[in-house]
Structure 1
Amino acid sequence: MMLTTAQALIKFLNQQYMGIDGNEHKLFKGIFTIFGHGNVLGMGQALEEYSDELEVYQGRNEQGMAHAAMAFAKQNHQKKLIACTSSVGPGSANMITAAATATANNIPLLLLPGDTFATRQPNPVLQQVEQTHDASISTNDAFRPVSKYWDRVERPEQLMSAMINAMRVLTDSGNTGAVTIALPQDVQGEAYDYPDYFFKKRVHRFERRKPTDNELADAIELIKSKKKPIIICGGGVRYSESGETLRKFAEKYHLPIAETQAGKSAIKSTHELNLGGVGVTGNLAANQLAGDADLIIGIGTRFTDFTTASKQLFKNESVEFLTINISPFHANKLDAVKMVADAKATLLLLEEELDKNSYSSFYDKEIKEAKSEWQNEFDRLCQTNYHAENFNPENSGYSKEQLSEYAEALGSSLTQTAVIGEVNKTIASDAIIVGASGSLPGDLQRMWVSHEPNTYHMEYGYSCMGYEISGSLGVKMASPDKEVYAMVGDGSYLMLHSELITSIQENKKINVILMDNAGFGCINNLQMGNGMGSFGTEFRKRNQNSNQLTEDIIQIDFAKSAEGYGVKTYKVKTLEQLHEALEDSKKQVGSTLIDIKVLPKTMTAGYDSWWHLGVAEVSQKESIIQAFEEKETQLKKARKY
């Protein structure tokens, strides 16, 4: 079949299917594009003539559109994809951050960046980076360290092996991420007589791999020897769609469940055994029971530093680890007894064997009491405000006068935790929230009550600023019948929000909950909590005398800006205004933005957790020396691997 390389690629994508539990569907829903001279006459021409059932979406920023594609795959449990094509040079470079985000999160993402000429005839072509030591290097080589698979198609026939390998990685749930296939612009348009069998229907099956007999036996012996295990529910539980299986397993053996950011909402938050978020951004209940547990059962988790509190969270001297993970790499962490297998299949087998041994944990009232204690703190967080008696600014690092300055500049005394509580109780129970960066992931993991499965979508493997709005578009494309809310701070919003335009273009309503505290509040907390002053993290004007950013707070009317895009907007400075805005936004058919002014230093605290940071060992400031000494003390309590 005589086709150009680009035409053959599009025809190939149309023939890829995913099979799971006896059902199958097309793997690729569509392709995001921003056309330029490096792809418009190759990939662009192929899509115009051969797109078939692939829907073509117009992005506004290459990073944003790739994040939307990643979010689409994440919300679809890795089983439906959208590809992305960009032009050569800066267009492709913009997708590198998204590639890293997808790879860090183990989410499949197919990137098809344009490249310079394979023939090199016109070199240096427009937007080409030249290296004197290596003529074969282009911008796209920068994708290598952030891709799970990378290839450059320099001859039309190379497309076949490149795409077969690409599909291998994209459909390997245990070792997936960004797949980059660089496409020189001249090769995109070159023709080749492709064999018909390259375009046959391919069904990539999601196989529920079972543990080996030895793995199962080792796991059973370990569980039987322990009295107080705790389950850590990771993203793998959601990707294997095994939340209901895990719920029944935990109920049968009376095992508490703690959640990672990726695992949250696999089981509803109100379940009696669900303690909530664990680790650095975890709550008091989960962290207390994790600290006391004698067995940590990690299911589908990568055990990141936030989940383990830099390996210092698990304080029981006899604690051991059991992992269930489809990835051998992740299953091997913390020197665990490992089961390299699918979560659902493994839990069912464990249940069969544990029933033979009449196993049950030794928990009595600990789970209920821990949840009750956290509920009291949760209620306080939802009710606290700047004028309340229980609000103590001295614990924030800011003086009363500094907070008063913010209250006056922003015209608001709202706390971030109270806002989250109001949003949580007002929006629909099946609405999906999306987040990624700043202080919101911590507050949301601790405070957000997920009433329905798969309604909490947090990108925290890379915690990439700018993901929130792009990700919300991808989530809406994956779940068009659900209301989707982007939970975003002002710093992240300013970094990337251009896919708001695409949401309008595609009639995909997203709701932006923008919390403006006039700065990079999370990092301001970090520096001030480790002995520094507030330096370079508040949004202030420059003092011409000291040459520091210490003058008036910059005030931004985000609602007015978004209104110019055609978004329905609201300005909020009180809880009453917030409630009214949320209710009215439900009635809108297009995207909305609620500009909420909140005070800095009104987030949640650490709750028995610790995060290992690179604190300066020497300093002229006593507070820095104290922070370093505290870090060294905590480090001595942590596991070394």
Structure 2
Amino acid sequence: MTGREATVAQTLVSFLAHQFTVDGDHRERTVPAVFGILGHGNLAGIGQALAEYERRRPGALPYRQARNEQAMVHQGVGYARIHRRLGTYAATASVGPGAANMLTGAALATANRLPVLLLVSDTLATAAADPVLQQLEFPQRPDQQVADAFAPLSRFFARVSRPEQLAPALLGALRVLTDPAETGAVTLVLPEDVQTQALTVPDGFLADRDWRLRRPPAEAGLLDAAADRIRCAQRPLIVAGGGVLYSSAERQLRALAAATGIPVATTQAGGGALDADDPQALGGLGVTGTASANTVAAQADLVIGIGTRYTDFTTGSGTVFAYPQVGFVTVNVAVHDAHKPDPWRPGAVLPVVADARAALTGLTERLDGHRVTAAYSDEVARTRRSWMAVADRALAPTGAEPPGQPEIIGAIARALDPREVVVAAAGSLPGDLQKLWRPADPLGYHVEYGFSCMGYEIAGGLGVKRGLLAAGDDRAVVVLVGDGGYQMLHGELATAAAEGIALIVVVIDNAGHASIGGLSERIGGDRFGTGYPGIDIAANAVSHGVAVADLTGSADPVAALEPALVRARAATGPTVIVIRADPLIAAPDTGGWWEVPVAEVSDDPRVRAARADYEREHRDRGRRRARPEVPPAQGGAGDG
């Protein structure tokens, strides 16, 4: 066996440059680039290796500088999602605070089932000095460091304490990065001295390697049983989640819905799985969903979940599917998610562990000739038309100054090409967008709501734009962010400006946290702690070197927004558009409920009234996921 001598970091970099994800006929680099802020913990290791590799093979694994470690991970997640999880970025952090900054990004990636590779530096494995800079000291466990915090946040975690441990760690990391069921944050912990240590690397280890994506088919018997349940249902409903998009199964979803007439509601991650103008499309489901989707869901006797993990917001804290005997057919590539969402009734859920595309194809074949009743189709169509009329009114210009957020969303929708991508996360925007945005492209609706992380927006949008450019796609990416989210993590605007990336950011300034402000009122808190003095966002954006359109002084900001977007789309670099909004003008109510407990006792009458409302809602909605009453066990005192 022949080989060559290289450091751990040099071997890692060379290995990553030769990894490819294969999905059918499509092949792309699994890790096309590495983000990093180089400090003492990775400069002599990964930093040196990246610089050397760039000299030897220019462009094979480029280094990208970022402004914040959390933002690196968000960029990787944005890239991964727009590439349907076939590729992602690596991100390296130095010891201590650099690594700690990355933790939020790791949690977000794992919560959203999106792959990202984290190369986290650690203190010296040889402990040549102790303590060293940025080392945590735990007298009871001296080996515990910041990097250990990644273990519960990662789908794969390995510490490379010796050079010999690198090969199995790298193979395990790539296995999870390319596994549809197990993917998320993948963390390799690399002590700074180990990064610089040498080993002999076999030539074959650094050859091109293909990782073929698993697309497991469903068992025939399970598909037969699922088709039987669908044939027996009077009011079936499909809930399409992110798994439909990651499987590239939107065509198969459309075919099944068209052939059977079964209506389709989408989760936040599944937005765009069915075009908004499709007659079977009901829009978003749940707490922030549309009235049409929630109305149909409340009476559905069978819910067919495709690639969804049934989060709290999708299920309305367990209240959306209100029919007492509702059943579920749940198709998911992950066993854990396939067994959701009704654990209390044996047999209520038929789990189908399979790839979404394969399962949808099999169901369409088995349901040939089957269609829901004309009466149900007519009812779905009426419900859909009724909601569309309500949404149209919310999106229409009013001339109000300042305008409400729904009106601003309407102006943005009118200015954009239907294929262009809208990005948002956390706050009130995801709710308003799920109700009012009408996706016309499978990848056009990009809302991070699996972790609901303020600060994702700009960095995630930059990752989306990088992903599109890598695929030769020049469509615009428009980030919608509130002033609260903007202040969390706006540093990547400087990254976009430095690299000349034409990202469009619309900052909706309402001088506070609008979503939590509304929630505060609901629990009797009178928007406590949710407002703050306005800042000059436009001046801040200018300082990052981006073009700025400040509409805050405009007599008709909504009318000025559309031409500002047209100019931004023609720009060769990033543009920030700032517009003021009235935080008290909300999107139409759609009947969704989210359980947020209210103080049981208080001397404030507003809180007492809110508690009474909470108890009434809790009782009237009869939360389906609540644990049933269990009679107390009979026995002596020792049975406790």
TM-score, with structure 1 as normaliser: 0.92
Instruction: Give the match for residue 154 of structure 2.
Output: 147
Instruction: Give the match for residue 23 of structure 1.
Output: 26
| Counterpart amino acid of residue 192 in structure 1 | L
Instruction: Give the match for residue 629 of structure 2.
Output: none
Instruction: Give the match for residue 364 of structure 2.
Output: 351
Which of the numbers 374, 389, 403 marks the counterpart of 1:414? 403
Instruction: Give the match for residue 632 of structure 2.
Output: none
Instruction: Give the match for residue 311 of structure 2.
Output: 304
| Counterpart amino acid of residue 113 in structure 1 | V
User: Displacement, 1:605?
Assistant: 4.1
Aligned-partner Cα distance in 2 for 1:513–1:25: 32
User: Displacement, 1:278?
Assistant: 0.8
> Which secondary structure does the structure 2 equivalent of 1:114 belong to?
strand
> Is 1:430–1:452's contact at 8 Å kept on the other side of the alignment?
yes
Q: Does 1:557 align with 2:536?
A: yes
Instruction: Give the match for residue 634 of structure 2.
Output: none
Which of the numbers 68, 71, 87 marks the counterpart of 2:75? 68
> Which secondary structure does the structure 1 equivalent of 2:362 belong to?
helix
Q: Does 1:373 align with 2:386?
A: yes
Which of the numbers 195, 200, 212 marks the counterpart of 2:207? 200
Aligned-partner Cα distance in 1 for 2:579–2:386: 30
Structure 1 residues 4-15: aligned runs within 5 Å: 4-15=7-18
Cα deviation, 1:426-453, whole Å, max 9, x if unaligned, reads: 1222211111111000001111111222
> Which secondary structure does the structure 2 equivalent of 1:137 belong to?
coil
Aligned-partner Cα distance in 1 for 2:562–2:20: 44
| Counterpart amino acid of residue 89 in structure 1 | G
Aligned-partner Cα distance in 1 for 2:219–2:612: 46
> Which secondary structure does the structure 2 equivalent of 1:596 belong to?
strand
What residue ranges of structure 1 are gaps of 5+ in the alignment? 388-411, 540-553
Instruction: Give the match for residue 284 of structure 1.
Output: 291
Which of the numbers 568, 591, 604 marks the counterpart of 1:608? 591
| Counterpart amino acid of residue 212 in structure 1 | E
Structure 1 residues 418-429: aligned runs within 5 Å: 418-429=407-418
Q: Does 1:640 align with 2:611?
A: no
Structure 1 residues 84-483: aligned runs within 5 Å: 84-335=91-342, 336-355=349-368, 358-361=370-373, 363-383=376-396, 385=398, 412-480=401-469, 481-483=474-476
Aligned-partner Cα distance in 2 for 1:302–1:165: 25
> Is 2:259–2:371's contact at 8 Å kept on the other side of the alignment?
no
Q: Does 1:531 align with 2:534?
A: no
> Is 2:28–2:86's contact at 8 Å kept on the other side of the alignment?
no
User: Displacement, 1:361?
Assistant: 4.8
Relative distance call for 1:199 and 1:340 in structure 2 (3 A) is: same
Cα deviation, 1:511-533, whole Å, max 9, x if unaligned, reads: 00100000011001001012221
Percent identical: 41
Count of matched residue positions in the alignment of Structure 1 and Structure 2: 602
> Which secondary structure does the structure 1 equivalent of 2:377 belong to?
coil
Instruction: Give the match for residue 491 of structure 1.
Output: 484
| Counterpart amino acid of residue 45 in structure 1 | Q
Aligned-partner Cα distance in 2 for 1:333–1:358: 26
Q: Does 1:590 align with 2:569?
A: no
Q: Does 1:42 align with 2:18?
A: no
User: Displacement, 1:469?
Assistant: 0.2
Q: Which runs of 4+ in 1 moved over 4 A?
A: 384-387
Q: What is the root-mean-square deviation of aligned Cα atoms in Å?
A: 1.4
> Is 2:255–2:364's contact at 8 Å kept on the other side of the alignment?
no
Cα deviation, 1:166-198, whole Å, max 9, x if unaligned, reads: 112111111210011010000000001122332
User: Displacement, 1:55?
Assistant: 1.6
> Which secondary structure does the structure 1 equivalent of 2:28 belong to?
strand
User: Displacement, 1:118?
Assistant: 0.1
Aligned-partner Cα distance in 2 for 1:33–1:456: 28
> Is 1:386–1:415's contact at 8 Å kept on the other side of the alignment?
no
> Is 1:517–1:600's contact at 8 Å kept on the other side of the alignment?
yes
Cα deviation, 1:539-563, whole Å, max 9, x if unaligned, reads: 1xxxxxxxxxxxxxx2322112211
What residue ranges of structure 2 are gaps of 5+ in the alignment? 343-348, 627-640
Which segment is superposed worse, 614-623 or 592-601? 614-623
Which of the numbers 506, 509, 521 marks the counterpart of 1:516? 509
Relative distance call for 1:359 and 1:382 in structure 2 (3 A) is: closer
> Which secondary structure does the structure 2 equivalent of 1:306 belong to?
coil
Which segment is superposed worse, 262-271 or 440-449? 262-271
> Is 1:469–1:499's contact at 8 Å kept on the other side of the alignment?
yes
Aligned-partner Cα distance in 1 for 2:617–2:206: 58
User: Displacement, 1:495?
Assistant: 0.6
User: Displacement, 1:632?
Assistant: 2.9
Aligned-partner Cα distance in 2 for 1:108–1:453: 19
| Counterpart amino acid of residue 537 in structure 2 | F
> Is 2:34–2:64's contact at 8 Å kept on the other side of the alignment?
yes
User: Displacement, 1:229?
Assistant: 0.6
Cα deviation, 1:395-439, whole Å, max 9, x if unaligned, reads: xxxxxxxxxxxxxxxxx4211110000001112222111111110
Aligned-partner Cα distance in 2 for 1:431–1:629: 45
